[in-house]
Structure 1
Amino acid sequence: MFTLGNLFVLMLLASGCAWLWHNHGLREKALERVKQHCAKLDLELLDGAVALKRIGFVRDANGRRRFARVYNFEFTVTGEQRHPGTVTQFGAHSMQIELAPYPFEIKTQPSAEVIEMDQWRQEHKRWRP
């Protein structure tokens, strides 16, 4: 038969397992959000993982202190350098993703036609005083 002490220990273990399972689900949500963010910015998420940095109280957008989980991850632009990033998660909602400064290219369409300056001036004479 179970004693009250045995029942307490069993409930404590069950609560711990449920908390770990819940945290794993929240980490997976944070990972999915980071993957979406990196894809949108044309970045590559390295190692395909986020790592729990800390659990504690963090200020939200309204300035209130709320219980949050902060995860670290690394990304790359060129494939040569690793850059750190963090995602702050309040419950199941990813609130903020911060990326370290990283180099990026401004993508422009190459011009198919090169115009000589003298030719342009002749075509636009009427605009000259």
Structure 2
Amino acid sequence: MDEIILILLILAGIWYWWGTQRCNEVALAVCRQKCNKANLQLLDATVIRQRTWLRRDIGGTVQICRLYSFEYTAGVGLVVSEESYFGAREQGYIVLIGKQVVETHLSHSDG
């Protein structure tokens, strides 16, 4: 019986890790699209998961909700050092329920 519980816990961990990786990919793709559309440069080509919690979706199903942050700049050009950005680093965030994007925000503009 203990082995079955252990196997189920391992499988649940793998399932969570796999879902998190997929959500990271979705969040990064949406951030790239938003930045490109607003003529902004996504910095570090990454999103950072800030928070994870449970939340109901529109259909009432409990889903994993994830908040990601990212940085971008209005500057375009060759970046040689931290001080050489043409624009200041700005923060944005994106919220996913499951793999569905429900909110994005760019402090530069309402993206």
Asked whether the two chains share a fold, i.e. TM above 0.5, the reply is yes
Name the counterpart of 1:89.
96
Higher relative contact order structure (alpha carbons within 8 Å, sequence separation ≥ 6): 2
- Greater mean alpha carbon deviation, residues 52-61 or residues 89-98: 52-61
Shift of 1:35: 0.4
Shift of 1:101: 3.4
Matches within 5 A, 1:1-129: 4-56=1-53, 67-78=64-75, 79=85, 80-101=87-108
Q: Structure 1, unaligned stretches of length 5 or more?
A: 103-129
Shift of 1:60: 8.1
Shift of 1:14: 1.5
Task: Report SS of the residue matched to 1:10.
Answer: helix
User: Percent identity of the aligned residues?
Assistant: 27
Q: What is the one-letter code of the residue matched to 1:33?
A: V
Q: Structure 2, unaligned stretches of length 5 or more?
A: 76-84
Deviations 1:17-71 (A, max 9, x none): 111111110110011011011000000000000010101257989xxxx752110
Deviations 1:47-104 (A, max 9, x none): 000010101257989xxxx7521100000012341000000111111121111137xx
Please give the alpha-carbon distance, in whole angstroms, between the structure 2 residues aligned to 1:81 and 1:26. Answer: 27
Give TM-score scaled by structure 2 length.
Answer: 0.75
Instruction: Kindly report the root-mean-square deviation, in angstroms, between the aligned alpha carbons of the 2 structures.
Output: 2.4
Of Structure 1 and Structure 2, the greater strand share is in 2
Deviations 1:110-129 (A, max 9, x none): xxxxxxxxxxxxxxxxxxxx
Q: 1:83 to 1:26 in 2, by over 3 A?
A: same
Give the count of matched residue pairs: 96
Task: Report SS of the residue matched to 1:72.
Answer: strand
Give TM-score scaled by structure 1 length.
Answer: 0.65
